[in-house]
Amino acid sequence: MSLNLRRTVFSFALVGALAPMLAAVLTPAIYILGEGETETEDVYVAASSARIDGTIDGDLVIASGAVDLNGDVLGDVFVVSHSRVYIAGDVTGSVRGLAREVDIAGTVGGDVAVLGGSLNISGSVGRDVLVVAGSGFVTGSTGRDLQGRFLDAEIDGTVGRDIDITVRNLRVGPSADIGGDLLYRADSDATVSGGAEVAGQFNRLPSRAVFIVRVWLIGATILGFLAFVASGFVLLMLFRGTMSRATALVRTDTWKTVWVGFLAVIGLPLL
């Protein structure tokens, strides 16, 4: 897995673990920001569904069901959804999402990083697209690189630089315009329509591993991280009464506590 993709997966896990806990500003059952309304700071939302027709002058961090973003976000968007995320407005920064379905029909000025069931880009992305999804459709434009893993993918739009993907089935449509290389790892050749243009190399590389196995490994990594974070919060809640005493002990007898902790970490697994 590339470094960028590792960072992407870690970001998904972090957002998934923390977004509901960060919802200290706005936590209604349904979040609505009406047309003409403006939030002048970062917005944190935990809701059953959300519709944003106004403007957010900052970042949007949201854990929700269906999300309809028709307005503007003048920062980054971090979203976790068990349903569809539809972005028809303008996002100045980047979009990072964990969702069943992500549709980008508007404009994203930065990067798009998605882990989910499907990704559909019919609008424009200013920089890179990093994705792990069951299906992917690119009929709009991507300013730089497209990287990721799919079961099924269709490229029928513009990619400014390179494509490097692992895929089971790949179709390159007649409107595809790739400014660099198109490298794909698959067990079978791509279906290429007449009219598709690739400025650089167009090569199929051997699959490095069974695709489904790699997807399951990525999922297991995310679940493991979430379980680690959740267990930490549970322990903090169970032993919150001892936290002040533990902090005082570390300050007054630092080396003793370091050695006790070291011996516990090394010794307990050997018992």
The DSSP secondary structure of 108-173, one letter per residue, reads ESS-EEEEEEEEEE-SEESS-EEEEEEEEEE-SEESS-EEEEEEEEEE-SEESS-EEEE-SEEEE-
pLDDT one-digit tens code per residue, 69-92: 999 999 999 998 888 999 999 999
Q: Which sequence spans correspond to the domains of the chain?
A: 3-237, 239-271
pTM: predicted TM-score of the whole model, two decimal places = 0.70
The residue ranking higher by pLDDT, 65 or 250, is 65
**Is 121 in contact with 139 (CB distance < 8 Å)?**
yes
What is the distance between the alpha carbons of residues 192 and 218, in angstroms, rounded to a whole number? 30
Q: Which range among 98-107, 136-145, 169-178, 223-232 shows the weakest confidence by mean pLDDT?
A: 223-232
242: pLDDT confidence band, cut at 50, 70 and 90?
low
Helices and strands per DSSP (H, E), number in the chain: 4, 26
- 128-to-38, 109, 177, 180, 187 alpha-carbon distances in Å: 28, 10, 16, 13, 26
Percent of the chain that is helix, strand, coil (3-state, to 5): 25, 40, 35
